[in-house]
């Protein structure tokens, strides 16, 4: 009996130590990730999870047509038209929310309950987190990690920095990441020179850059481009993004 108790106590002790070790490791991991997030307020990310995934997938598939394009550009090297266009197309409450647009979340849930097609409710802040650190597949684990990191990003980065990173890591076409690479590829010019119409066309590709091709715009994309341009004007023009904190 005593021997059995000793075995049970020993097993319980091992489980307890294992759980403590797991919690300690998890805590260190969380603190490390938060430290990286905070550091990226000042340090430009050299790559992103989505870029790495894209390049590895092309390598594994031995895709000879694949060409990776990405060039970092600071905020003052990017046309304000590009910044305004992505806000108009993706997140018109960007300057007002703290990472989550609850009205859009409620609308998306209602659309799903009614069987309607929904564009989703992710804010630009959430998209930055997903692109930088996470993976595209839908799951509660990813959603939970995305929500937690979005809170950290919103608490530590100015809105202008969030938008600057988004413009540099968003995918605009196969192998094309960031507005500078997209501008060079599709318009043969620097991102600083993008016109409202060009910026709006790039923004139409963001929901699905492999399906919506900037260099082969469909009638739907052209209609969407015109809508984005109207929204840019209604937001008050580039003053909306030039005054971000």
Q: What is the DSSP string of 141-159?
A: HHHHHHHHHHHHHHHHS-H
**CATH code, residues 45-242:** 1.10.3810.10
Q: Which residues of 42-53 are buried (b: 16+ CB within 10 A; e: fewer)?
A: eeebeebbbbee
pTM for the whole structure: 0.88
Per residue, the 3-state secondary structure of 73-138, as one string, reads CCHHHCCHHHHHHHHHHHCCCCCCCCCCCHHHHHHHHHHHHCCCCCCCCCCHHHHHHHHHHCCCCC
* Amino acid 209: pLDDT: 92
Q: How many whole angstroms separate alpha carbon 206 and alpha carbon 88?
A: 12
* Amino acid 119: pLDDT: 59
Average pLDDT in the 107-136 region? 79
182, exposed or middle or buried, with CB in 10 Å at 0-12, 13-18, 19+? buried
Asked whether the beta carbons of 38 and 149 are under 8 A apart, the reply is no
Q: Where are the alpha helices (DSSP H) in 138-237?
A: 140-156, 159-169, 179-187, 196-204, 219-234
* Amino acid 86: pLDDT: 98
Residue 244 banded pLDDT, cuts 50, 70, 90: confident
* Amino acid 29: pLDDT: 63
Asked whether the beta carbons of 174 and 68 are under 8 A apart, the reply is no
Q: How many whole angstroms separate alpha carbon 189 and alpha carbon 197?
A: 14
DSSP state of 172: E
74, exposed or middle or buried, with CB in 10 Å at 0-12, 13-18, 19+? exposed
The mean pLDDT value of the chain amounts to: 88
pLDDT at residue 111 tops 80: no
Q: Domain spans of the chain? A: 1-39, 45-242
Average pLDDT in the 79-108 region? 90
What are the phi and psi torsion angles at 149 (to 5°)? -70, -30
Average pLDDT in the 38-47 region? 95
Average pLDDT in the 141-155 region? 93
Residue 107 banded pLDDT, cuts 50, 70, 90: confident
Residue 236 banded pLDDT, cuts 50, 70, 90: very high
Residues present in the chain in total: 245
For 239, the token pair is 């003053």
By C-alpha distance, which of 166, 69, 181 is closest to 127?
166
Residue 20 banded pLDDT, cuts 50, 70, 90: confident
pLDDT at residue 76 tops 90: yes
Q: Which residues of 131-153 are buried (b: 16+ CB within 10 A; e: fewer)?
A: bbbbeeeeeeeeeebbeebbbbb
Residue 9 banded pLDDT, cuts 50, 70, 90: low
């Amino acid at each position: 009996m005593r021997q059995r108790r000793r075995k049970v106590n020993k097993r319980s002790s091992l489980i307890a130590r294992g759980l403590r070790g797991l919690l300690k490791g998890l805590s260190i991991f969380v603190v490390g990730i938060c430290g990286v997030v905070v550091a990226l307020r000042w340090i430009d990310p050299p790559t992103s999870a989505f870029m790495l995934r894209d390049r590895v997938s092309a390598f594994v598939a031995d895709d000879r047509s694949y060409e990776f394009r990405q060039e970092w550009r600071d905020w003052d090297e990017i046309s304000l038209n590009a910044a305004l266009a992505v806000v108009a197309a993706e997140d018109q409450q960007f300057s007002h929310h703290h990472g989550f647009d609850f009205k859009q979340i409620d609308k998306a849930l209602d659309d799903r309950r009614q069987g309607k097609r929904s564009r989703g409710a992710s804010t630009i802040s959430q998209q930055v987190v997903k692109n930088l650190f996470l993976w595209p597949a839908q799951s509660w684990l990813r959603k939970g990690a995305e929500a937690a990191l979005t809170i950290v990003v919103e608490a530590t980065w100015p809105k202008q920095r969030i938008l600057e990173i988004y413009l540099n890591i968003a995918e605009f076409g196969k192998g094309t990441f960031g507005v500078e690479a997209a501008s060079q590829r599709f318009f043969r010019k620097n991102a600083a020179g993008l016109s409202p119409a060009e910026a709006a066309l790039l923004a139409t590709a963001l929901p699905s850059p492999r399906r919506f091709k900037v260099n082969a715009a469909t009638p739907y994309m052209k209609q969407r481009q015109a809508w984005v341009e109207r929204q840019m004007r209604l937001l008050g023009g580039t003053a909306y993004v030039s005054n971000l904190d």
